Amino acid sequence: GAGVSQSPSNKVTEKGKDVELRCDPISGHTALYWYRQRLGQGLEFLIYFQGNSAPDKSGLPSDRFSAERTGESVSTLTIQRTQQEDSAVYLCASSLSLGWNSPLHFGNGTRLTVT
Amino acid sequence: DQQVKQNSPSLSVQEGRISILNCDYTNSMFDYFLWYKKYPAEGPTFLISISSIKDKNEDGRFTVFLNKSAKHLSLHIVPSQPGDSAVYFCAPLKGAQKLVFGQGTRLTINP
């Protein structure tokens, strides 16, 4: 069965450009998360979507970051006017629902490098 | 406001010995605690969890111990194997809220 798929796997962009990262969750998973991991750092929560509820955007570091999800399918994370500190691995995860009995299934991430 | 801390960024253990990874948290309302394991260039994968009403959960070579009074949990791996070399993240959970991860501990198992 297909897992969580993220594209592209690697992205190099120039400072100031916009980038869009894509996540295809596991079919039927209502919850979708975005995290990022900077070099040498832990997993930093960015945003999550749960069904039709309003997304929890509390982890987005600035208004240059935004994310959308169409129903219970694909999500895109957009970073506008990228900065060098945005360089990180961006990880998407999905789960059947929220809670302890719905472990997150992660994709392999998109490695973003801002030059 | 970091609710979970893994104070050891790295740990090196000899193959066959016990690996002990520690995690401290601040919110006494957490009701589940999860451990995830991450290999390079891959996303984290779920490893084991424990409910706050228990003090121990065992799954094969992996055991989680929870000390609620100390707000501390630990993951024991015994015997440690080379394939256990990875970064381990502790993630406490409250109800159906978002999962927040610790900083991770890089475990290296030496042959």
DSSP annotation string for B23-72: EEE--TT--EEEEEEE-TTS--EEEEEEETT-SEEEETTEEEEEETTTTE
Q: How far apart are CA B11 and CA B81, in angstroms?
A: 14
B92 touches chain A (CB under 8 A): no
Residue A6 CB burial class (10 angstroms; 0-12, 13-18, ≥19): buried
Considering only CB atoms, which chain B residues are within 8 Å of A98?
A: 95-98
A104/B31 touch (CB, cutoff 8 Å), yes or no: no
B103/A107 touch (CB, cutoff 8 Å), yes or no: no
pLDDT digits (tens, 9 = 90+) for A15-47: 999 999 999 999 999 999 999 999 888 899 999
pLDDT at B95 over 90: no
Q: How confident is the model at residue A53 (pLDDT cuts 50, 70, 90)?
A: confident
| Token duo for residue B65 | 């111990």
Q: How confident is the model at residue B2 (pLDDT cuts 50, 70, 90)?
A: low
Residue A101: its pLDDT value, please? 78
Residue A1: its pLDDT value, please? 54
Interface test with B, best of A34, A94, A104 (most B CBs within 10 A): A104
pLDDT digits (tens, 9 = 90+) for B21-55: 999 999 888 889 999 999 998 999 999 999 999 99
Residue B78: its pLDDT value, please? 98
Average pLDDT over residues B13-20: 98
B95/A99 touch (CB, cutoff 8 Å), yes or no: yes
> What proportion of chain A, given as a percentage, has pLDDT over 90?
77
The chain-wide mean pLDDT, for chain B, equals: 93
pLDDT digits (tens, 9 = 90+) for A55-68: 999 999 999 999 99
Considering only CB atoms, which chain A residues are within 8 Å of B32?
A: 99-100
Peptide bond into A8 cis (omega under 30): yes
B96/A43 touch (CB, cutoff 8 Å), yes or no: no
